[in-house]
Amino acid sequence: MSMLNARSILVTGSNRGIGLELVKQLVEKSNRPEWIFATCRDPEGPGAQALKNLAAKHEGVVINPLDTCKPNSIKAAAARVTECLKGAGLNLLINNAGIVRPASMEDETPESMSEVYRTNVIGHMVVTQAFLPLLRKASRESPQKGMSCSKAAIINVSSEAGSITNLLGWEVGHSINYRCSKAALNMLTRCQSLGFAEDEILCVALHPGWLQTDMGNFEGILAPVKVDEGVKEILNTLACLSEKNNGTFVNIDGETLPW
Protein backbone atom coordinates (compact mmCIF):
# COMPACT_ATOMS: atom_id res chain seq x y z
CA MET A 1 0.00 0.00 0.00
CA SER A 2 1.21 3.50 -0.83
CA MET A 3 2.12 5.76 2.08
CA LEU A 4 1.39 9.43 2.54
CA ASN A 5 4.80 11.03 2.85
CA ALA A 6 4.17 14.76 2.91
CA ARG A 7 6.61 16.97 4.79
CA SER A 8 3.97 19.65 5.40
CA ILE A 9 0.18 19.55 5.57
CA LEU A 10 -2.37 22.27 6.28
CA VAL A 11 -5.90 21.46 7.45
CA THR A 12 -8.60 24.12 7.70
CA GLY A 13 -11.45 23.77 10.18
CA SER A 14 -9.27 21.62 12.41
CA ASN A 15 -10.79 22.39 15.82
CA ARG A 16 -13.50 19.72 15.54
CA GLY A 17 -14.90 16.83 13.53
CA ILE A 18 -13.00 15.59 10.51
CA GLY A 19 -10.36 18.31 10.72
CA LEU A 20 -9.45 17.56 14.33
CA GLU A 21 -9.38 13.82 13.67
CA LEU A 22 -7.09 14.34 10.67
CA VAL A 23 -4.60 16.17 12.89
CA LYS A 24 -4.89 13.46 15.58
CA GLN A 25 -4.15 10.67 13.16
CA LEU A 26 -1.43 12.52 11.28
CA VAL A 27 0.63 13.04 14.46
CA GLU A 28 0.37 9.32 15.23
CA LYS A 29 1.77 8.19 11.88
CA SER A 30 5.18 6.54 11.90
CA ASN A 31 6.20 8.83 9.04
CA ARG A 32 4.27 11.83 10.32
CA PRO A 33 4.70 15.19 8.59
CA GLU A 34 7.32 17.52 9.97
CA TRP A 35 4.79 20.35 9.89
CA ILE A 36 1.05 20.04 10.53
CA PHE A 37 -0.64 23.42 10.25
CA ALA A 38 -4.01 23.28 12.00
CA THR A 39 -6.23 26.27 11.35
CA CYS A 40 -9.59 27.41 12.70
CA ARG A 41 -11.48 30.65 13.16
CA ASP A 42 -10.93 31.07 16.91
CA PRO A 43 -7.97 29.11 18.32
CA GLU A 44 -8.34 30.85 21.70
CA GLY A 45 -12.01 30.00 22.11
CA PRO A 46 -13.42 27.04 24.08
CA GLY A 47 -14.24 25.22 20.85
CA ALA A 48 -10.53 24.77 20.13
CA GLN A 49 -9.45 23.33 23.48
CA ALA A 50 -9.06 19.77 22.17
CA LEU A 51 -6.85 21.06 19.36
CA LYS A 52 -4.75 23.10 21.78
CA ASN A 53 -4.29 20.06 24.02
CA LEU A 54 -3.13 18.06 21.01
CA ALA A 55 -0.67 20.72 19.88
CA ALA A 56 0.78 20.93 23.40
CA LYS A 57 1.69 17.24 23.25
CA HIS A 58 3.13 17.11 19.75
CA GLU A 59 5.96 19.20 18.33
CA GLY A 60 5.33 20.42 14.80
CA VAL A 61 1.60 20.95 15.21
CA VAL A 62 1.16 24.67 14.61
CA ILE A 63 -2.21 26.25 15.30
CA ASN A 64 -3.03 29.26 13.14
CA PRO A 65 -6.12 31.47 13.21
CA LEU A 66 -7.76 31.42 9.79
CA ASP A 67 -11.28 32.54 9.00
CA THR A 68 -12.12 31.41 5.47
CA CYS A 69 -14.59 34.28 5.13
CA LYS A 70 -11.99 36.96 5.87
CA PRO A 71 -9.30 37.50 3.20
CA ASN A 72 -7.04 39.39 5.62
CA SER A 73 -7.12 36.43 8.02
CA ILE A 74 -6.23 34.05 5.19
CA LYS A 75 -3.39 36.28 4.01
CA ALA A 76 -1.98 36.52 7.54
CA ALA A 77 -2.15 32.74 7.98
CA ALA A 78 -0.30 32.20 4.70
CA ALA A 79 2.43 34.59 5.84
CA ARG A 80 2.86 32.70 9.13
CA VAL A 81 3.04 29.34 7.38
CA THR A 82 5.57 30.71 4.88
CA GLU A 83 7.73 31.90 7.77
CA CYS A 84 7.57 28.51 9.51
CA LEU A 85 8.53 26.61 6.37
CA LYS A 86 11.67 28.71 5.95
CA GLY A 87 11.89 28.50 2.18
CA ALA A 88 10.24 25.11 1.71
CA GLY A 89 6.88 24.54 0.04
CA LEU A 90 3.55 23.20 1.29
CA ASN A 91 2.82 19.67 0.13
CA LEU A 92 -0.84 19.20 0.98
CA LEU A 93 -3.69 21.66 1.50
CA ILE A 94 -6.88 20.10 2.88
CA ASN A 95 -9.76 22.56 2.52
CA ASN A 96 -11.98 21.03 5.18
CA ALA A 97 -13.72 24.01 6.81
CA GLY A 98 -17.44 24.07 6.08
CA ILE A 99 -20.86 24.91 7.46
CA VAL A 100 -24.49 23.97 6.87
CA ARG A 101 -27.73 25.75 7.71
CA PRO A 102 -30.56 23.17 7.82
CA ALA A 103 -33.55 24.34 5.81
CA SER A 104 -36.27 22.96 3.55
CA MET A 105 -37.07 24.25 0.09
CA GLU A 106 -39.76 26.47 1.58
CA ASP A 107 -37.60 27.78 4.44
CA GLU A 108 -34.36 28.47 2.56
CA THR A 109 -33.29 32.11 2.60
CA PRO A 110 -30.92 34.22 0.51
CA GLU A 111 -29.00 35.00 3.68
CA SER A 112 -28.22 31.37 4.57
CA MET A 113 -27.45 30.52 0.94
CA SER A 114 -24.96 33.39 0.78
CA GLU A 115 -23.37 32.53 4.13
CA VAL A 116 -22.84 28.86 3.31
CA TYR A 117 -21.61 29.56 -0.23
CA ARG A 118 -19.16 32.16 1.11
CA THR A 119 -17.64 29.61 3.52
CA ASN A 120 -17.87 26.40 1.51
CA VAL A 121 -16.91 27.70 -1.93
CA ILE A 122 -15.44 31.19 -1.93
CA GLY A 123 -13.47 30.45 1.23
CA HIS A 124 -11.85 27.39 -0.35
CA MET A 125 -11.02 29.40 -3.46
CA VAL A 126 -9.36 32.25 -1.55
CA VAL A 127 -7.45 29.92 0.78
CA THR A 128 -6.10 28.03 -2.21
CA GLN A 129 -5.06 31.25 -3.92
CA ALA A 130 -3.18 32.35 -0.79
CA PHE A 131 -1.26 29.08 -0.44
CA LEU A 132 -0.73 28.48 -4.15
CA PRO A 133 2.84 29.89 -4.18
CA LEU A 134 3.82 27.39 -1.47
CA LEU A 135 2.14 24.51 -3.30
CA ARG A 136 3.88 25.47 -6.54
CA LYS A 137 7.20 25.61 -4.72
CA ALA A 138 6.67 22.14 -3.25
CA SER A 139 5.79 20.72 -6.65
CA ARG A 140 8.67 22.42 -8.42
CA GLU A 141 11.28 21.25 -5.91
CA SER A 142 10.00 17.69 -5.49
CA PRO A 143 12.01 14.87 -7.11
CA GLN A 144 8.78 12.88 -7.54
CA LYS A 145 7.28 12.39 -10.98
CA GLY A 146 3.59 12.85 -11.71
CA MET A 147 1.09 14.00 -9.08
CA SER A 148 0.47 12.94 -5.49
CA CYS A 149 -0.57 14.21 -2.07
CA SER A 150 3.03 13.70 -0.95
CA LYS A 151 4.25 16.12 -3.62
CA ALA A 152 1.71 18.95 -3.99
CA ALA A 153 -2.07 18.63 -3.72
CA ILE A 154 -5.31 20.42 -2.99
CA ILE A 155 -8.03 18.27 -1.42
CA ASN A 156 -11.41 19.98 -1.26
CA VAL A 157 -13.68 18.22 1.22
CA SER A 158 -16.97 18.00 -0.63
CA SER A 159 -20.02 15.77 -0.15
CA GLU A 160 -22.09 13.32 -2.14
CA ALA A 161 -25.01 15.43 -0.92
CA GLY A 162 -23.89 17.82 -3.64
CA SER A 163 -23.92 15.18 -6.37
CA ILE A 164 -26.58 16.17 -8.88
CA THR A 165 -26.90 12.50 -9.81
CA ASN A 166 -27.09 10.97 -6.32
CA LEU A 167 -28.25 13.68 -3.84
CA LEU A 168 -27.14 11.62 -0.85
CA GLY A 169 -29.55 11.77 2.09
CA TRP A 170 -32.34 13.77 0.44
CA GLU A 171 -34.93 11.84 2.43
CA VAL A 172 -33.15 12.79 5.66
CA GLY A 173 -32.64 16.50 5.05
CA HIS A 174 -32.85 18.89 2.13
CA SER A 175 -30.16 21.37 3.27
CA ILE A 176 -30.37 23.25 -0.01
CA ASN A 177 -27.60 25.72 0.85
CA TYR A 178 -25.16 22.92 1.67
CA ARG A 179 -25.98 20.84 -1.41
CA CYS A 180 -25.63 23.77 -3.77
CA SER A 181 -22.36 24.85 -2.19
CA LYS A 182 -20.84 21.38 -2.57
CA ALA A 183 -21.94 21.14 -6.20
CA ALA A 184 -20.21 24.47 -6.79
CA LEU A 185 -17.12 23.28 -4.90
CA ASN A 186 -16.94 20.28 -7.21
CA MET A 187 -16.85 22.62 -10.22
CA LEU A 188 -14.20 24.75 -8.52
CA THR A 189 -12.09 21.63 -8.03
CA ARG A 190 -12.46 20.68 -11.68
CA CYS A 191 -11.40 24.18 -12.73
CA GLN A 192 -8.42 24.11 -10.35
CA SER A 193 -7.32 20.78 -11.81
CA LEU A 194 -7.17 22.35 -15.27
CA GLY A 195 -5.68 25.64 -14.10
CA PHE A 196 -2.88 24.05 -12.06
CA ALA A 197 -2.16 21.05 -14.30
CA GLU A 198 1.09 22.49 -15.63
CA ASP A 199 2.22 23.02 -12.03
CA GLU A 200 1.60 19.29 -11.37
CA ILE A 201 -0.61 20.13 -8.38
CA LEU A 202 -3.14 17.37 -7.80
CA CYS A 203 -6.70 18.67 -7.28
CA VAL A 204 -9.42 16.34 -5.98
CA ALA A 205 -12.90 16.74 -4.48
CA LEU A 206 -13.37 14.23 -1.67
CA HIS A 207 -16.61 12.90 -0.20
CA PRO A 208 -15.50 11.95 3.34
CA GLY A 209 -18.48 9.71 4.01
CA TRP A 210 -21.33 10.33 6.40
CA LEU A 211 -19.38 10.52 9.66
CA GLN A 212 -20.34 11.01 13.29
CA THR A 213 -19.47 14.69 13.71
CA ASP A 214 -21.36 17.78 14.84
CA MET A 215 -22.36 18.35 11.22
CA GLY A 216 -22.91 14.68 10.42
CA ASN A 217 -25.30 14.04 13.29
CA PHE A 218 -28.40 16.19 12.96
CA GLU A 219 -32.08 16.20 13.86
CA GLY A 220 -31.61 13.21 16.17
CA ILE A 221 -30.04 11.02 13.47
CA LEU A 222 -26.68 9.36 14.19
CA ALA A 223 -24.35 9.11 11.20
CA PRO A 224 -23.45 5.49 10.30
CA VAL A 225 -19.63 5.76 10.49
CA LYS A 226 -17.42 6.79 13.41
CA VAL A 227 -15.19 9.73 12.60
CA ASP A 228 -11.94 7.93 13.49
CA GLU A 229 -12.81 5.03 11.19
CA GLY A 230 -13.69 7.38 8.34
CA VAL A 231 -10.55 9.49 8.69
CA LYS A 232 -8.36 6.37 8.72
CA GLU A 233 -9.81 5.45 5.33
CA ILE A 234 -9.44 9.02 4.07
CA LEU A 235 -5.72 9.05 4.86
CA ASN A 236 -5.23 5.68 3.18
CA THR A 237 -6.96 7.02 0.07
CA LEU A 238 -4.97 10.27 0.03
CA ALA A 239 -1.81 8.19 -0.07
CA CYS A 240 -3.00 6.43 -3.23
CA LEU A 241 -4.25 9.38 -5.28
CA SER A 242 -2.31 10.22 -8.43
CA GLU A 243 -2.58 12.14 -11.69
CA LYS A 244 -5.31 9.76 -12.86
CA ASN A 245 -7.51 11.19 -10.09
CA ASN A 246 -6.80 14.82 -10.95
CA GLY A 247 -10.03 16.79 -11.33
CA THR A 248 -12.23 13.96 -10.06
CA PHE A 249 -14.80 13.51 -7.28
CA VAL A 250 -13.97 10.49 -5.09
CA ASN A 251 -15.22 8.79 -1.93
CA ILE A 252 -13.09 7.64 1.01
CA ASP A 253 -12.22 4.44 -0.84
CA GLY A 254 -10.93 6.41 -3.82
CA GLU A 255 -13.83 5.38 -6.04
CA THR A 256 -15.04 8.00 -8.52
CA LEU A 257 -18.45 9.46 -7.78
CA PRO A 258 -20.85 10.95 -10.33
CA TRP A 259 -21.09 14.71 -10.44
Task: Supply the pLDDT for residue 58.
Answer: 93
Task: Supply the pLDDT for residue 1.
Answer: 57
Strand bridging mode 35-40 / 8-11: parallel
Task: Supply the pLDDT for residue 65.
Answer: 97
CA distance 143 to 162: 36
CA distance 41 to 177: 21
Task: Supply the pLDDT for residue 227.
Answer: 85
Task: Supply the pLDDT for residue 32.
Answer: 94
Task: Supply the pLDDT for residue 219.
Answer: 58
| Cα Rg of the chain (Å, integer) | 17
Please state the φ and ψ torsions of residue 115, each to the nearest 5 degrees: -60, -50
Task: Supply the pLDDT for residue 215.
Answer: 58
pLDDT digits (tens, 9 = 90+) for 33-91: 999 999 999 999 999 999 999 999 999 999 999 999 999 999 999 999 999 999 999 99
Q: Edge-to-edge strands of the sheet including 249-250?
A: 61-65, 35-40, 8-11, 92-95, 153-157, 202-206, 249-250
**Residue 191: its H or E element:** helix 176-195
Task: Supply the pLDDT for residue 174.
Answer: 74
- pLDDT < 50 stretches in the chain: none
Task: Supply the pLDDT for residue 179.
Answer: 94
